[in-house]
Amino acid sequence: MDGLNKTGNFLCACHHGFVLCLADMIKSGKLAKYSLACLNRLLNVYGQGLALGYDIGCKHSITVSRSSLRHQAKALGLQLYVSAFHSYVHNQKCQLSFHPRFLTTARLEDFKMNERLFSKQNLTTHLYHHDSTYHWHMTLNAFWSRWNDDCRAGIGEC
């Protein structure tokens, strides 16, 4: 695989910062298959009462409702949100249905953990920018493993 096929990674993290699911994005990062793959994993592992924030949570709810995950997501009570910052530019109907500040079920969560995580991950880009796919995966695996270890060690500080 050459460098042009690598577009990044799609990750799901909890509000504590633990990386729960990670998928390589190959060729196009705009495909729903990455979010649906992570959603499938999260529904199977965590089950009932899952709440997910996504910059395009409103559009993604339609994608989920048309996917093979629709019955499982509905049965498990999946709630999708648009992250607090992005919600303000969406229309009023979207905000009333997906904005975490308007829906009391989200409490004070802003659903911006991924942005905070990616800002940290970007500090490692110089380590694998020109490397092979294998070394890229090794570097990211080491980074996210250490990240989760650090989160686990500091969980009492939340």
pLDDT tens by residue, the chain, 158 residues:
344 455 677 888 888 888 888 887 877 656 788 889 999 999 999 999 888 888 888 888 999 999 999 999 999 999 888 876 666 667 777 777 777 777 777 777 778 787 888 888 888 777 777 778 788 888 888 888 888 898 888 875 64
d(CA 141, CA 157) in angstroms, rounded, equals: 25
Residue 27 lies in a domain: yes
**Structural domain count of the chain:** 1
Instruction: Write out the E strands in 54-136.
Output: 79-81
Instruction: Write out the E strands in the chain.
Output: 6-13, 19-26, 51-53, 79-81
Question: Of all helices (H) and strands (E), which one includes residue 133?
Answer: helix 133-153
Residue 107 lies in a domain: yes
Domain limits at 85? 3-124
Give residue for tokens 């800002």.
Answer: 119
Cβ–Cβ under 8 Å, residues 77 and 88? no
Residue 77 lies in a domain: yes
Residue 154 lies in a domain: no
Residue 90 lies in a domain: yes
Residue 158 lies in a domain: no
Distances (CA, A) of 141 to 18, 38, 82: 13, 17, 28
